[in-house]
Chains A and B, each alone.
Chain A
Amino acid sequence: MSKTPMRDSVLIVLGGLAAVLLTRNIWVMLTQLPHEAFQGAIFRIIFFHVPAAFTCFLCFLLALVAGIVYLAKKNLRWDAFAVSVTEVGLAFGAINLISGMIWARIIWGIWWTWDWRLTSMLVCWLLYAGYLVLRRAIEETTERARLGAVMLILNFSVVPFVFFSIKWFRTQHPQPVLYGDGKMDEIYRSMLYGNWVPLLLVAAVLVALRMRQENQQREIDALRRAAHSF
């Protein structure tokens, strides 16, 4: 059997598992979890908002590692991995931002405020989107990979700032409930981490699919060069 169908089956299993877990989690959070005392039903958005942020930051961390390894080894597979995790990280970052805005509309009465956490997350998202724009602007493959890797390393400097901004500054955004002095009821905490698992599975499947496309693009470019060299 060839290698690709086996990898396909792994992706299908992971995707199916994610779908089952997400369905189960949504069912439990809508029918069995009690309303949060002050926020009511809208509190449940946290079970997607926070795991999406964790997934986004994990993707950006992996992109940082991929960028460093690319600069050290000059292997384009790491460049393909970097662009794949960055794209998927941006999708989850968008989920985090949009779901947060919807929550804010109910709890704060406004869609957006230029608060440290919200602003830094938006800037972070835009910086990583800028990485994708930069890649489109550079045609030469190794130059694109090199400059992209440097930009990923620089971009990551914003991520700890986003993560700790609610601890370092007085913000309108709620203070941390998962670390430090913050508290969250165990039933909510287990749902939050429990919902992160399927989101991670979805992210893994998307990264694998995107990497496959990036490798395919490189093969096409190589064939094109070979065709022109006849």
Chain B
Amino acid sequence: MSDSEARNFEYLAYGLIACWVILVAYVLTLVARGRRLSRQLENVQRMMEDREGK
């Protein structure tokens, strides 16, 4: 394989990896947001239970 062919494949790999990295990064933001929402839901439920207790 010539140098230019190797470089071609190298950049193709970068391109494919970049596609996956962007998708995975977005999925991770979804996961982080999901965790934050679960925490918020727990806090609100606890707050409502406290108020009902009073």
Query: Using a CB–CB distance below 8 Å, which chain A residues touch chain B?
Result: 26, 39-42, 44-45, 48-49, 52, 87-88, 91, 94-95, 98-99, 102-103, 105-106, 202, 206, 209-210, 213, 216-217, 219-220, 223-224, 226-227, 230
Complex interface: chain A residues within 8 A of B15 (CB): 42, 45, 48-49, 98-99, 102-103
Q: How far is the CA of A226 from the CA of B48 in the complex (A)?
A: 8
Q: Is A95 touching B16 in the complex (CB atoms < 8 A)?
A: no
Q: Is B18 touching A99 in the complex (CB atoms < 8 A)?
A: yes
Interface residues on B, range: 20 to 34
Q: Is A40 touching B37 in the complex (CB atoms < 8 A)?
A: no
Contact with A along B38-52 (1 / 0, CB 8 A): 001100110110011
Contact of B18 among A42, A98, A213 (CB under 8 A): A98
Complex interface: chain B residues within 8 A of A217 (CB): 37
Q: How far is the CA of A220 from the CA of B39 in the complex (A)?
A: 10
Q: Is A213 touching B12 in the complex (CB atoms < 8 A)?
A: no
Complex interface: chain B residues within 8 A of A102 (CB): 11, 14-15, 18
| With known contacts A48-B16, A99-B18, A206-B30, A106–B11 Cβ distance under 8 A | yes
Q: How far is the CA of A161 from the CA of B15 in the complex (A)?
A: 26
Complex interface: chain A residues within 8 A of B27 (CB): 206
Q: How far is the CA of A91 from the CA of B27 in the complex (A)?
A: 10
Complex interface: chain A residues within 8 A of B40 (CB): 220
Complex interface: chain A residues within 8 A of B51 (CB): 227, 230
Q: Is A95 touching B18 in the complex (CB atoms < 8 A)?
A: yes
Q: In this complex, what residue of B is CB-closest to A223?
A: B44
Q: Is B22 touching A42 in the complex (CB atoms < 8 A)?
A: no
Q: Is B12 touching A220 in the complex (CB atoms < 8 A)?
A: no
A-B contact pairs, 10 of them (CB 8 A): A40-B5, A40-B8, A41-B5, A41-B8, A41-B9, A42-B15, A45-B15, A91-B22, A223-B45, A226-B48
